[in-house]
Structure 1
Amino acid sequence: MSDRSPESFSGRWEDQAQINYPLHYLIWLQEHKLLEDKLNSINFNDPAGQDKLEKLDLRGRTPLMLAITLGDIDATRLLINKGANVNTKNDEGWTALQEAIATGNPEIVQLVMEHRDYQRHTSRATGISKILKLLEESPDFYVEMKWEFISWVPLVSRICPSDTYKIFKQGSKVRIDTTLMGNDQNNWARGNLSYIFMGQSPSATFLEVDHDSHRVFVEEIQMIPLDQGIEVMRPSEDTVASRLSTPIVSFDVDTKKISFERNKSGIWGWRQDKTEEINGYNCKVFNASNVEFVTKSRTEHLTEAEKTTLNCPKNPIQSILGSSEEKLPYKSDLQVTMAEYFDELIDIRGKYIRKPIEQTTKITKIKANLWLSEDYPLSLKEQIMPIVDLMAITSSRFAKLKDFIEMQLPSGFPVKIEIPLYHISNAQITFGNVYATDKSVEGVQTLEANGKMFCVVEDSVFIPPRNYVVLGAEQRRQNNIDNDEELLQFAVRQSLLETGAEEDQQVDIWEALQVQRPNTPNDLYLDPADEELQRAIHASLTECTYVPLSEQTLVPDVVSNSTPDNLDNDLDAVLRLSMEENRQAELQLRQEEEMLAKVLQLSLTDK
């Protein structure tokens, strides 16, 4: 335990801590009654009161983050009950939930998870209304966003999906059409869906319109009482246990050193800034360099037995997630005192607060490309960004696009963008058919005045056909959606494995690509067909021979018939074995393609 006594703390720094960080100071001393009294004296209806609750200390922690890091369940509960933001990060990029998991305390993990999810719901309800209100003030428009996914992984490039989002905007109404629905039985599932958002302050209405089944799912996005929300969103014991028995993984894109440079064209000595025409618009071509994809994994909350399972040989997941330029193992060895923590002149990097930190950091440099037009008729900030914000609430693809667009881009509209999604694939996003000028669209009228193009979107666009069946949101097809950190947590766990263990400790490729550990509750049932597929892809990536389980007896039977005394039978066996291998190779190729479709689907799953 750290020394929390005031005697270890110089009076000068103690006075400053009490004045500048009163909540942090009481949390460190575990003065729960004084902390409660202090919180009760703050008016949280006043923005100044909220500022006190979310104030960052010298080390970049809010009072709640410090309480969680110290493993203080009582202080954590007091702060959460006063409305402290649970969806927050510290200076190292760790979320409140990740720090809660690091304590190893299931009670803190459950408390943080349930309030995090409730606050997310609340943020979604208020966020959508604000976005629609913001859109109401911008000119109406229609535009298409074409998404194409490209990959360096063999076979995957041939089966990467593409989709075109058709976006209609009228006042505070937004409609987004899409055809890519997900992966169904190893094939990309196509459909014909419309997502319609309509603002009705202080709430909003969301419609999912399935044009194939002629059904409309209606959801009123609004606030729900805290007690009801917490009850609904309380995680199960199995979920909490799963979190506590797997590494904590964080994905971040570090853009601090990013630089944009014009691409050049022409021969040496006559090179000039490159321009290309994209969908009728002349674009300057840029590349973005010095962007770092940072993957961090922490294991201090795991038992020694759980850590032992991590010491497996490298397996095929590493070749799918890509190699890193730098891998940095780190373990803190000194505990910080209260005096050191609140002393701004002391560097406490390398020290831990409650328990030693065991962390591995992998850094991979990534690149992106931009095609920017100065003449595009849409405004990136006023018209496109609200749409991206809207979709980023539930889509990891749009969330990554949002992160990239929010960088300090060069001037111009990004008519085309190429950005990494994960190590396995890049996304190319191209804007086209703006105002339906290239191809007519029902419900959209294009006008021209004073040399400028305008767009009128009719009311009928946002009204589902009368013959469609209207259902509640609870009957909508449920997607397994979570944040990016959770989505690839187990995959990254496998990519961080060390070498040196026995062969029987390896984990196969399908198991490595599961969202959660395959032996945890609530995992998807792996039926025999899926088991065959995972064996096929595992064999293809490890250069092993693949033989389906149902037919494993065929080859041994053929070989067992040969004897030294019967060369004809031996030759016959070899020929039959060769034919069987050819058949197996064709089967394996088909199954590899199907399995790689699953792999790609997991890498593109919405958050």
Structure 2
Amino acid sequence: MDETSKEAEEFELHKSVFNNDLKKLTQILKNNKEIVDKKDKHGNTALYLATATGRIECVCILLKHNATVNIKNCNGWTPLSEAISYGNRQMIEVILKKLKEQTRKSLSKRKESLKTALTQINDFYMELKWEFSSWVPLISKILPNDVCKIYKLGSKIRLDSTLIDFNEMKWERGDISFLFCGDNETMITALDNEAKVYQYVRTQESEAEIQDEIDILMMSDIVTANFSTKNVSFTQVQTGWFFREDKKETIAGQYKCDLYHVNGLTLEQRKRREHLNRDDLQKNKTSIVESLTKSQVIDPNMEIPRRMSLKPPPVKAITFEEYMNSEIGNYPALGRELVFKKSQKQLKATVAMCSDFPLCLETLLNVFEVIAPLKHFSKLRDFISLKLPKKGFPISIHIPIIPTVSAKITFQDFEFRNNIPDELFDIPDNYSLDETRFPDL
């Protein structure tokens, strides 16, 4: 048996999708459902091939067998990326709904493990200081700073912040709190302490909201961005003119730290727009989102014109063997011809590691799992998930947030406490429910 025949046999699930053989596809999954997420040499799953070629019947069969939606191939694209590119609205809808369903189930599973992890450590109070800066002088003067207060009691966490949102060069100030109570069905509650309202962080959107999201996806660039850590290395910061030595620093008045430069940290971004028309290219995503939001606020009963499915691209005359024999990650376009650009940016970062800090890194990641709805915390979580230079705790981190803005984050005023009041984790009686207060949650 030659190599091509071996690959065809090994990836018969992929081949059945490629040939749109629904009977064969169903039979394979009936006999062995464990291979539903198997990747081929290009990092593509059968679901990815089904969306890229616009075979919605195959998509539905694979989703019925719980094919994972949020899997990237070797170029960073997912089945949802290809569904948007192909432009079939029905296919985008079933993929998006399945993605949300799988995300909800994953969050529910993580909630139990998170609750267990939190109960295994002592109760504490900690402050997290954010200092934003920019190499552009005028911008640097107007950037916000914030001190977040974090309380942990049993399986409960409360975070108080004055920085509600930070996105590109826009930010919203206020007085908000996030509550996580491991014993409640509702995972997270957001409080606006100035307006005296609260909102549960929703786990399920309405049908209208899903249709709005589909419109936005179909009108926007397909973007994938990730930190490339292949070449990351750490070098200790040096001090002294003639006799060089490793620089050390005392942070928060008591923690002695080793300072490191982070080398080789790269932000890779790919952007696709083969599915966009001329009008789309003249708009940006923000204006689309705002127009949809304003339409709903002005008249919630108003019927919003929906984006129509695109005309399918010409069927490609490519065989499965030709696809499998192509260079890894450089196979012929299966749907629309790609229109994309790739960019890379070297990021500068520093980190101060402390071996005496009373909190471990794993606990910190568990806390960040709770407060992930805050976008700037998501950036911080991604960074500290990297392989750090030594054992210890990253007590101070200087990382880029956007190309012109960086943030210095310092963990300070940490202490274990036995007297944290339980009322901190309750919604005050004089607060009212407002399900629209935080539209992004």
The 3-state SS of whatever aligns with 1:169 is strand
Change (3 A) 1:32 1:187: closer
- The equivalent residue for 1:464 is 426
Alignment deviations for residues 407-456 of structure 1 (CA, whole Å, 9 cap, x no partner)? 11012211100111111311111000010xxxxxxxxxxxxxxxxxx432
Question: Is 1:287 the equivalent of 2:287?
Answer: no
- The equivalent residue for 2:26 is 36
Change (3 A) 1:244 1:208: closer
What percent of counterpart residues are identical? 29
- Deviation of 1:355 after TM superposition, in Å, equals 3.6
- The equivalent residue for 2:417 is 455
Question: Would the aligned equivalents of 2:199 and 2:438 in 1 still touch at CA under 8 Å?
Answer: no
- The equivalent residue for 1:74 is 57
The 3-state SS of whatever aligns with 1:433 is strand
- Deviation of 1:210 after TM superposition, in Å, equals 3.7
- The equivalent residue for 2:370 is 390
Change (3 A) 1:95 1:199: same
Rounded Cα–Cα distance in structure 2 between residues aligned with 1:362 and 1:218: 37
Rounded Cα–Cα distance in structure 1 between residues aligned with 2:192 and 2:205: 31
The 3-state SS of whatever aligns with 2:141 is helix
Question: Is 1:479 the equivalent of 2:439?
Answer: yes
- Structure with the greater relative contact order (CA < 8 A, sep ≥ 6): 1 or 2? 2
* TM-score w.r.t. length of structure 1: 0.61
Question: Would the aligned equivalents of 2:200 and 2:435 in 1 still touch at CA under 8 Å?
Answer: no
Rounded Cα–Cα distance in structure 2 between residues aligned with 1:197 and 1:307: 40
- Deviation of 1:241 after TM superposition, in Å, equals 4.5
Residue segments in structure 1 that go unaligned for 5+ positions in a row: 1-9, 43-48, 223-228, 311-333, 436-453, 482-607
Rounded Cα–Cα distance in structure 1 between residues aligned with 2:427 and 2:323: 63
Q: 2:250 aligns with which of 260, 277, 284?
A: 277
- Deviation of 1:91 after TM superposition, in Å, equals 1.4
The 3-state SS of whatever aligns with 2:98 is helix
Alignment deviations for residues 140-173 of structure 1 (CA, whole Å, 9 cap, x no partner)? 2221111111122342211111111111112211
Change (3 A) 1:208 1:363: closer
Query: What amino acid maps onto 1:13 in structure 2?
Result: T
The 3-state SS of whatever aligns with 1:235 is helix
- The equivalent residue for 1:107 is 90
- The equivalent residue for 1:235 is 210
The 3-state SS of whatever aligns with 1:155 is helix
- The equivalent residue for 2:311 is none
- Deviation of 1:475 after TM superposition, in Å, equals 3.1
Alignment deviations for residues 471-494 of structure 1 (CA, whole Å, 9 cap, x no partner)? 44x53512336xxxxxxxxxxxxx
Instruction: Say which structure is richer in helix.
Output: 1
Question: Would the aligned equivalents of 2:191 and 2:198 in 1 still touch at CA under 8 Å?
Answer: yes
Within 5 Å, which residues of 2 pair with 1:28-427? Answer: 28-42=18-32, 49=33, 51-182=34-165, 189-200=172-183, 203-217=185-199, 232=207, 235-236=210-211, 239-267=213-241, 269-279=242-252, 280-303=254-277, 305=278, 337-343=319-325, 347=328, 349=330, 351-381=332-362, 383-392=363-372, 394-411=373-390, 412-427=392-407
- Deviation of 1:216 after TM superposition, in Å, equals 4.7
The 3-state SS of whatever aligns with 2:264 is strand
Identify the range of structure 1 (60-69 vs 114-123) with the bigger mean alpha-carbon deviation.
114-123
Question: Would the aligned equivalents of 1:209 and 1:464 in 2 still touch at CA under 8 Å?
Answer: no
Rounded Cα–Cα distance in structure 2 between residues aligned with 1:347 and 1:200: 47
Alignment deviations for residues 495-514 of structure 1 (CA, whole Å, 9 cap, x no partner)? xxxxxxxxxxxxxxxxxxxx
Rounded Cα–Cα distance in structure 2 between residues aligned with 1:300 and 1:286: 42
The 3-state SS of whatever aligns with 2:40 is coil
- The equivalent residue for 1:26 is 16
* TM-score w.r.t. length of structure 2: 0.82
Rounded Cα–Cα distance in structure 1 between residues aligned with 2:172 and 2:199: 19
4+ residue segments displaced more than 6 Å: none
- Deviation of 1:26 after TM superposition, in Å, equals 1.1
- Deviation of 1:111 after TM superposition, in Å, equals 2.2
Rounded Cα–Cα distance in structure 1 between residues aligned with 2:389 and 2:320: 45
- Deviation of 1:69 after TM superposition, in Å, equals 1.6
Query: What amino acid maps onto 1:207 in structure 2?
Result: T
Rounded Cα–Cα distance in structure 1 between residues aligned with 2:318 and 2:340: 18
Query: What amino acid maps onto 1:282 in structure 2?
Result: K
Question: Would the aligned equivalents of 2:74 and 2:329 in 1 still touch at CA under 8 Å?
Answer: no
The 3-state SS of whatever aligns with 1:469 is coil
Which structure: larger Rg? 1
The 3-state SS of whatever aligns with 1:378 is coil
Change (3 A) 1:230 1:415: closer
- The equivalent residue for 2:302 is none
Change (3 A) 1:306 1:191: closer
Question: Would the aligned equivalents of 1:26 and 1:34 in 2 still touch at CA under 8 Å?
Answer: yes
Question: Would the aligned equivalents of 1:255 and 1:291 in 2 still touch at CA under 8 Å?
Answer: yes
The 3-state SS of whatever aligns with 1:410 is coil
The 3-state SS of whatever aligns with 2:182 is strand
Residue segments in structure 2 that go unaligned for 5+ positions in a row: 284-315
Rounded Cα–Cα distance in structure 1 between residues aligned with 2:158 and 2:87: 44
Change (3 A) 1:262 1:464: same
- Deviation of 1:15 after TM superposition, in Å, equals 4.5
Question: Would the aligned equivalents of 2:175 and 2:193 in 1 still touch at CA under 8 Å?
Answer: yes
Query: What amino acid maps onto 2:439 in structure 1?
Result: N
Rounded Cα–Cα distance in structure 1 between residues aligned with 2:67 and 2:407: 36
- The equivalent residue for 2:291 is none
Rounded Cα–Cα distance in structure 1 between residues aligned with 2:208 and 2:71: 18
- Deviation of 1:291 after TM superposition, in Å, equals 1.3
Change (3 A) 1:350 1:74: closer
Rounded Cα–Cα distance in structure 1 between residues aligned with 2:224 and 2:171: 28
- The equivalent residue for 1:428 is 408
User: How large is the Cα RMSD of the aligned pairs?
Assistant: 3.0
- The equivalent residue for 2:308 is none
- Deviation of 1:70 after TM superposition, in Å, equals 1.9
Q: 2:8 aligns with which of 8, 14, 17?
A: 17
- Deviation of 1:273 after TM superposition, in Å, equals 0.7
- Deviation of 1:179 after TM superposition, in Å, equals 1.9
Rounded Cα–Cα distance in structure 2 between residues aligned with 1:88 and 1:103: 18
Question: Would the aligned equivalents of 1:336 and 1:348 in 2 still touch at CA under 8 Å?
Answer: no
